[in-house]
Amino acid sequence: MKGLVIQNAAEVVTPTGREAKFGPAMNELNRIEHASIVVQDGIIQAVDTAERIAFRYDLSGYECIDAAGQSVIPGFVDAHTHFIFGGYRADEFMLRLKGSTYMEIMADGGGIGSTVRQTRQTTEEELYRSGKERLDAMLAFGVTTVEGKSGYGLDLEAEVKQLSVMQDLARNHPLELVSTFMGAHAVPPEYSDEEDRYIDFLLADVLPVIKEKGLAEFCDVFCEQGVFSLEQSRRLLSKARELGFGLKIHADEICSMGGAELAGELQAVSAEHLLHASDEGIRALAQNRVIATLLPNTAFCLNEPFAAARAMIDSGCAVALASDFNPGSCFSHSVPLILALACIKMKMTAEEALTAMTLNGAAALNRAGSVGSIEPGKQADLLLLKYPSYKFLIYHTGVNIVQKVIKKGRLLCTNH
């Protein structure tokens, strides 16, 4: 085969560029009607009207996918998940339905601590098996690049176990995987009430090992009242930066405590959640070009107010949307739910939501140079939708309308 051609799409719709889109630029999509895409060796060669492509290329010998009546968009990038874990916490969800809060459950020994106990007891083989199953499920929703965090081990051995499983999956699974070390996800029982000593341990005995083994690109911390303070988060992330990790921070999820401001101060790549970010924090994100990764499925599952996406975009921030898929606060990787909540509840436009779920997600993973848009030179990560317009992503509310998923020019999944 000479290559692949996606022919006669009703439209190709994509943000453009090799970096995040900030503020009003999030609305700017490139839309070509009756379009074709030429791919060679997994890389996009040309995107143009079907007529011009037919004129420029001799397509005999190309594998051909007919996209008549279909909208083609970039593969989704889910830039925030915790998908490697043992066990489940369905009972906690039931408790929350009855009025218990996430932090109350955590303080009672449930929450992240419960998943840490279960993950420590789970074998690598089992973590690999369930992780693969979850990646397959994400792929069917059109996710072609995904981030995964550790943070359910909280000791050297179990953190390395989680990240090694991700490394094996990254090698064997067609979905592109980006790993984040999140040893500062909670305080483990061995260090209860000794957060500073636990941070010392991470700095001296864990971070350097993760670095040396090449097990993670990013470092993240749960900066939250009752978990890690601003100062502890600053200490960890500063060292992580010195070692060459990209920085992420779970900021202002449950309380407003200056996490967004800290992300600005450290010029983190992204700040996540931000349900309670202050106006000053939002300004700090915009000024320092920190991507605001918003996770509406978590706000929905916790029945908390949504992050102020409108104010953020109107203040010049780059917003990314992601799932936060995890066994506690959000056991959902549903992209249709993310998009519906973003547009209906957070007042984002459909165009902003598409940019947030593709190019800005890629930028939150330092991948905007290779994925996140449909342009010559980028990887051919493409979704063929069952309908002729990207508007159906929101309009067909909560429904997966992805029909075909193409990663690096390979057709990986067809939904019927």
Nearer to Fe ion, 195 or 324 (CB): 324
Under rule CB under 5 A, residue 11 binds Fe ion: no
Q: How far apart are CB 220 and ligand NIG at their closest, in Å?
A: 9
Under rule CB under 6 A, residue 250 binds ligand NIG: yes
Question: CA–CA separation, 247 vs 269, rounded Å?
Answer: 6
Nearer to Fe ion, 139 or 275 (CB): 275
Q: How far apart are CB 326 and ligand NIG at their closest, in Å?
A: 4
Closest CA to 413 of 144, 166, 148, 172: 144
- For residue 216, the Cα-to-chain-centroid distance in whole angstroms is 15
> From residue 296 to residue 335, what is the string marking binding to Fe ion with x (rule CB under 5 A)?
----------------------------x-----------
Interface stretch with ligand NIG, choices 14-22, 262-270, 283-291, 324-332 (CB under 6 A): 324-332
Asked if residue 225 lies in contact with residue 257, where contact means CB atoms within 8 angstroms, the answer is yes
Under rule CB under 5 A, residue 253 binds Fe ion: no
Q: How far apart are CB 220 and Fe ion at their closest, in Å?
A: 8
Nearer to Fe ion, 176 or 324 (CB): 324
- Contact residue for ligand NIG among 164, 329, 373, 379 (CB under 6 A): 329
Under rule CB under 6 A, residue 82 binds ligand NIG: yes
Nearer to ligand NIG, 15 or 188 (CB): 188
Taking only Cα atoms into account, the Rg of the chain, rounded to an integer number of angstroms, comes to 21
Question: CA–CA separation, 154 vs 115, rounded Å?
Answer: 11
Q: How far apart are CB 82 and ligand NIG at their closest, in Å?
A: 6
Q: How far apart are CB 296 and ligand NIG at their closest, in Å?
A: 12
- Contact residue for ligand NIG among 44, 112, 165, 206 (CB under 6 A): 112
Question: CA–CA separation, 336 vs 104, rounded Å?
Answer: 30
Nearer to ligand NIG, 169 or 301 (CB): 301
What's the number of CA atoms in the CB half-sphere (13 Å) around residue 195?
Answer: 18
Name the token pair of 165: 């499983």
Task: For residue 312, give the amino acid letter.
Answer: M
For the beta carbon of residue 70, count every other beta carbon within 10 angstroms: 24
Nearer to Fe ion, 48 or 324 (CB): 324
Under rule CB under 6 A, residue 298 binds ligand NIG: yes
Q: Which does 112 bind (CB under 5 to 8 A by kind): Fe ion, ligand NIG, none?
A: ligand NIG
Under rule CB under 6 A, residue 253 binds ligand NIG: yes
Size of the site for Fe ion (CB under 5 A): 1
- Contact residue for ligand NIG among 81, 145, 326, 373 (CB under 6 A): 326
Asked if residue 79 lies in contact with residue 361, where contact means CB atoms within 8 angstroms, the answer is yes
DSSP string for residues in 164-178: HHHHHHHHHSSSEEE
Q: How far apart are CB 148 and Fe ion at their closest, in Å?
A: 11
> Could you give the 3-state DSSP secondary structure of residue 206?
helix
Under rule CB under 6 A, residue 334 binds ligand NIG: no
Q: Which helix (H) or strand (E) holds 43?
A: strand 43-49
Question: CA–CA separation, 107 vs 103, rounded Å?
Answer: 6
Residue closest to ligand NIG (Cβ):
328
Contacts of 214 (CB under 8 A, 6+ apart): none
| Phi, psi of 255, deg, nearest 5 | -125, 155
Would you tell me the crossing angle of helices 156-172 and 124-140 to the nearest 10 degrees? 50
Nearer to Fe ion, 73 or 202 (CB): 202
Q: How far apart are CB 258 and ligand NIG at their closest, in Å?
A: 16
Q: What totals of helices (H) and strands (E) does the chain contain, helices first? A: 17, 16
Closest CA to 135 of 416, 382, 415, 413: 413
Contacts with ligand NIG by CB under 6 A lie at 82, 111-112, 115, 222, 250, 253, 298, 324, 326-329
Contacts with Fe ion by CB under 5 A lie at 324
